[in-house]
Amino acid sequence: MLPKPFTRSSLLAMAAGLGLMSLSRVMQPLHAATEVALVSGAFRRSIPVKEIEHLAETGEATGLLEDLLDLSGQDPNEVSQMLNQSLELPLVLTSRLVNTRIGEAILRRVARIIHPIYTPEPEVSVPAIRAGVISGLQSEDGLTAVSFLKSYPNAVMAVNLPALFGVIEKAESIAGLVQFFSDSPLDGLKEAQP
């Protein structure tokens, strides 16, 4: 028997309140990328996501990002526009697509380029990319580079520079890029079928 101050209805109310608090914690991202690590072998340089956000908001690069843009001859305003470019994708359709075999194959290709810093395995990197895309689509601005980073469920997102440059070399045109991300994964699916 419960002491007098704790009636069944007060316990149910307390349990419901705790449940709502727990649910609100689950719905808020527990982790988001705070750094983007550029990785090539033993080389690693990290750019704080705050610097990327600052560039996206103001068109002004700071810190290591400023140095990288100077070295590469990139105009910070153009990069800012690119960071703010929103992909208009339907949430439900995109969610379904990234959970299909074709979507999984494409995400595995992307996961060769970007992944959590210490766990590049597809079992970890593919769900992280999927979560970043779906959560990013739900942000106010839609899916942008910044909303993806703020939704990416790992503190440090690694960018494998050799893999990135390999894709850039193979994809000298938009047609090459489309072929890289569509034909190759489809070939892998054909081989996997019994």
pLDDT tens per residue, range 43-75: 899 999 999 999 999 999 999 889 988 988 889
| pTM beyond 0.75 | no
Q: How many CB atoms lie within 10 A of CB 52?
A: 22
Closest among 97, 180, 114 to 153, alpha carbons compared = 114
* Whole-number pLDDT of residue 23: 37
Does residue 16 fall inside a structural domain? no
Q: How many CB atoms lie within 10 A of CB 129?
A: 24
Does residue 144 fall inside a structural domain? yes
pLDDT tens per residue, range 27-43: 444 568 899 999 998 88
Does residue 165 fall inside a structural domain? yes
Contact status, residue 132 vs residue 154, Cβ threshold 8 Å: no
Does residue 13 fall inside a structural domain? no
Q: How many domains does the chain have?
A: 1
Q: How many CB atoms lie within 10 A of CB 26?
A: 9
Does residue 137 fall inside a structural domain? yes
Structural domain including 65 reads: 30-192
Does residue 41 fall inside a structural domain? yes
Does residue 15 fall inside a structural domain? no
